[in-house]
């Protein structure tokens, strides 16, 4: 088990307008655009990223951070054993991720995900 990537989720009323700022002013590149979420990465590297989220289109709450893990089912089981509040169930999303949302001990909502092939 282990984290592969951590991406802050910035709440953006208009992700497309915010994307333009991060591309033109900061120099980031768009690596995913679902309309309601835009993920940008540092030029030439897919690892340093941010996501701009208006409202999560497939979950009842918005996440504060997304953490990609090696085995999302294992992390989900450990979160349940730990007694963590699951705020969005383990779900296979149409864009190729399996994820769940858990509330962290300080109240943050964490989107825990694994990319599926």
Length of the chain: 117
Task: Tell me what the mean pLDDT of segment 71-92 comes to.
Answer: 97
Question: Rounded to whole angstroms, what are the CA distances from 109 to 31, 44, 60, 102, 112?
Answer: 23, 29, 11, 6, 9
The yes-or-no verdict on residue 38 having pLDDT over 90 is: yes
pLDDT confidence of 48, banded at 50, 70, 90?
confident
Region 112-117: mean pLDDT is 90
Nearest to 5 by CA among 36, 39, 35, 43: 39
> What's the gap between Cα 12 and its chain centre?
14
The CATH number corresponding to 3-115 among 3.90.1150.10, 3.40.50.720, 3.40.50.170, 3.10.180.10 equals 3.10.180.10
Domain ranges of the chain: 3-115
């Amino acid at each position: 088990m282990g984290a592969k990537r951590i991406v802050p989720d910035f709440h953006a009323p208009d992700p497309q307008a915010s994307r333009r700022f991060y591309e033109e002013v900061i120099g980031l590149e768009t690596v995913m655009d679902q309309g309601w979420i835009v993920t940008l990465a540092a030029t030439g590297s897919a690892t340093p990223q941010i996501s701009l989220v208006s409202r999560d289109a497939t979950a009842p709450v918005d996440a504060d951070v997304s953490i990609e893990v090696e085995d999302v089912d294992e992390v989900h089981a450990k979160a349940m054993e730990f007694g963590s509040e699951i705020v969005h169930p383990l779900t296979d999303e149409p864009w190729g991720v399996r994820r769940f949302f858990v509330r962290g001990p300080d109240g943050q909502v964490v989107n825990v995900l694994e990319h599926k092939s």
